[in-house]
Structure 1
Amino acid sequence: MGRLVPAVTRALDILELFLDGEGTLSAPDITRKLGLPRTTVHELVTTLAARSYLVPVPEQPGRYRLGVRSYQLGSRYAEQLDLAAEGQRVAREVAETCDETVHVAILEDLDVIYIAKVDSIHAVRMVSAAGRRLPAHCTSVGKMLLASLPADELDARLAEAGELDAMTHNSITDHDELRSALAGIRARGIATEHRESNPDVSCVAAPVRDRAGRVVAALSVSVPMIRWTEEREEELAELAAKGARDLSESLGFRGGDR
């Protein structure tokens, strides 16, 4: 590995200060936060501003905010991201931690489409595949995604769908019962599904957000009932939430828990 260039490292340190939620910074702020000499900070800020990575704030003399070049780089990075590929990567990491089946799914109308899947290493595991479509109201990923819809959009989709089909005896088929379940999911931030799509499987799911904070997918962990306990559910809920946060961050989301 080659030698790190100190000036470049310091310039990047300045830009990364804005990742902490700072809207604007002055040269004294940067000096204090990074412990750099004032002359060095002045030269670095001047250079970054000349290249449009920073711009002066007109109404706040001496303060700077991120410039258009920073936005352009971030946008180009976002364009290169592939939700399915990133989802497969994170699903693999989660599966390696819990040794259970992990899915990432998106919502289309009132169905979910699985875009990534990593199998459990156990002999008893869930039979599914990326690309498969299931009724959203019967799955943890689907209920998580439905819970993230605005109320008027959810109502419109339910009205258009009409009667909800059951996949097992535990599936929710009543609109009001589904709305009540979704309200609980919104409050908790985690969705669960107990034998609603498969009589032998329970699942837990968490929301995945894009850089604008929109819920664009959900990540779930699926477990055969022979390995499902209340304690295991809590463990997997935390793991699904962490995996969903990691995937959200890889998509550019920087809002933390929501």
Structure 2
Amino acid sequence: MGRLVPAVVRALDILELFLDGDGTLSTPEITKQLDLPRTTVHELVTTLAARSYLVPVPEQPGKWQLGLRTYQLGSRYADRADLATEARAVAREVAARCGETVHVGVLDGTEVVYIAKVDSSHAVRMVSAVGRRLPAHCTAVGKMMLASLPEQELAARYPAGTRLEAMTPHTLTTAEALRSDLAETRDRGTSREFCESNSDVACVAAPVRDAEGATVAAMSVSVPTLRWSEERGEELSALVAEGAMELSRRLGSR
């Protein structure tokens, strides 16, 4: 990796300040927050404004906000950041680190649709495929997505008293049991399922968020029960959370 150019780093530091608060800052405020010489900040702000990366705030003299050029760059990145493509790339990285099967799925009603999969390097692996659908209530990916829904939307999909399809003897079969499980998922930040969709597989998952912070997918790691333990589950939960965060970052999430 080559040497970082200090002036470019400082210019980027200035732009990133506008991601917080109300998105407006004055030159003195920038100077104070970055602890830089006033002259340096003035020159950098002038340069950024000349290239339309910063523009004056109407009717607020001395205040700046992000300009059209930043929007154009962001839009170009958003056009390139295809969820399935990025999901496959990150899933490969996670699978290489843990040696287990990695999925990325999205929610469609009360079902999960898998949009990316990377197989385990072990001889004993999970049989699944991109495009396959499963009930959301019995998969780690599905439960992670369901836990992110507003209560009203969740109730519409799973009214009180609803009986849920049983895939195995371990599957949650009532809306009430599912709600309890989802509450634990929210507290933990990751989801788990043990033999709920497949009697021989345990799974952990974490949320994938877009640039607006909405949960648009979930990433999971699936493990045959013969390689599962509580300690392994904790390790994989941390790993899948890192992977989901990286995929979220690629989609523009902060």
TM-score scaled by length of structure 2: 0.89
Matched, 1:132 2:96: no
Q: Secondary structure at the match of 1:177?
A: helix
Q: Secondary structure at the match of 1:197?
A: coil
Bigger shift: 2-11 or 14-23? 2-11
5+ residue gaps, structure 1, are: none
Q: Secondary structure at the match of 1:145?
A: helix
1:200-239 alignment, distance < 5 Å: 200-239=200-239
18 and 7 in structure 1: CA distance in 2 versus 1, 3 angstrom threshold: same
217 and 52 in structure 1: CA distance in 2 versus 1, 3 angstrom threshold: same
118 and 44 in structure 1: CA distance in 2 versus 1, 3 angstrom threshold: same
Q: Secondary structure at the match of 2:104?
A: strand
1:16-55 alignment, distance < 5 Å: 16-19=16-19, 23-31=23-31, 38-55=38-55
Amino acid in structure 2 at the alignment position of 1:253: S
95 and 69 in structure 1: CA distance in 2 versus 1, 3 angstrom threshold: same
Bigger shift: 186-195 or 17-26? 17-26
233 and 9 in structure 1: CA distance in 2 versus 1, 3 angstrom threshold: closer
Contact map agreement 1:191 1:204 (CA 8 A) in 2: yes
Bigger shift: 99-108 or 20-29? 20-29
Contact map agreement 2:104 2:117 (CA 8 A) in 1: yes
Aligned partners of 1:182, 1:24: CA distance in 2, in Å? 38
Contact map agreement 2:162 2:174 (CA 8 A) in 1: no
Aligned partners of 2:139, 2:168: CA distance in 1, in Å? 11
Contact map agreement 1:110 1:161 (CA 8 A) in 2: no
Deviations 1:127-174 (A, max 9, x none): 111111111111000011111111111111124995421111111111
187 and 175 in structure 1: CA distance in 2 versus 1, 3 angstrom threshold: same
Which residue of structure 2 aligns with residue 86 of structure 1?
Answer: 86
Amino acid in structure 2 at the alignment position of 1:249: R
Aligned partners of 1:207, 1:10: CA distance in 2, in Å? 32
Aligned partners of 2:206, 2:152: CA distance in 1, in Å? 22
Which residue of structure 2 aligns with residue 76 of structure 1?
Answer: 76
Contact map agreement 2:161 2:174 (CA 8 A) in 1: no
Aligned partners of 1:185, 1:34: CA distance in 2, in Å? 38
Which residue of structure 2 aligns with residue 179 of structure 1?
Answer: 179
RMSD between superposed Cα atoms in Å: 2.7
Offset of 1:73 from its aligned partner?
A: 1.7
Contact map agreement 2:88 2:117 (CA 8 A) in 1: yes
Aligned partners of 1:21, 1:242: CA distance in 2, in Å? 26
Which residue of structure 2 aligns with residue 197 of structure 1?
Answer: 197
Aligned partners of 2:5, 2:233: CA distance in 1, in Å? 48
Which residue of structure 2 aligns with residue 95 of structure 1?
Answer: 95
Contact map agreement 2:160 2:175 (CA 8 A) in 1: no
Offset of 1:68 from its aligned partner?
A: 3.0
151 and 22 in structure 1: CA distance in 2 versus 1, 3 angstrom threshold: closer
Q: Secondary structure at the match of 1:91?
A: helix
85 and 154 in structure 1: CA distance in 2 versus 1, 3 angstrom threshold: same
Aligned partners of 1:105, 1:160: CA distance in 2, in Å? 26
71 and 162 in structure 1: CA distance in 2 versus 1, 3 angstrom threshold: same
5+ residue gaps, structure 2, are: none
51 and 160 in structure 1: CA distance in 2 versus 1, 3 angstrom threshold: farther
Amino acid in structure 2 at the alignment position of 1:225: T
Q: Secondary structure at the match of 1:121?
A: coil
118 and 205 in structure 1: CA distance in 2 versus 1, 3 angstrom threshold: same
Aligned partners of 1:140, 1:48: CA distance in 2, in Å? 45
Aligned partners of 1:113, 1:197: CA distance in 2, in Å? 14
Matched, 1:57 2:70: no
Aligned partners of 1:228, 1:75: CA distance in 2, in Å? 42
**Percent identity between the aligned chains?**
69
Which residue of structure 2 aligns with residue 111 of structure 1?
Answer: 111
Aligned partners of 1:54, 1:39: CA distance in 2, in Å? 17
Aligned partners of 2:171, 2:27: CA distance in 1, in Å? 59
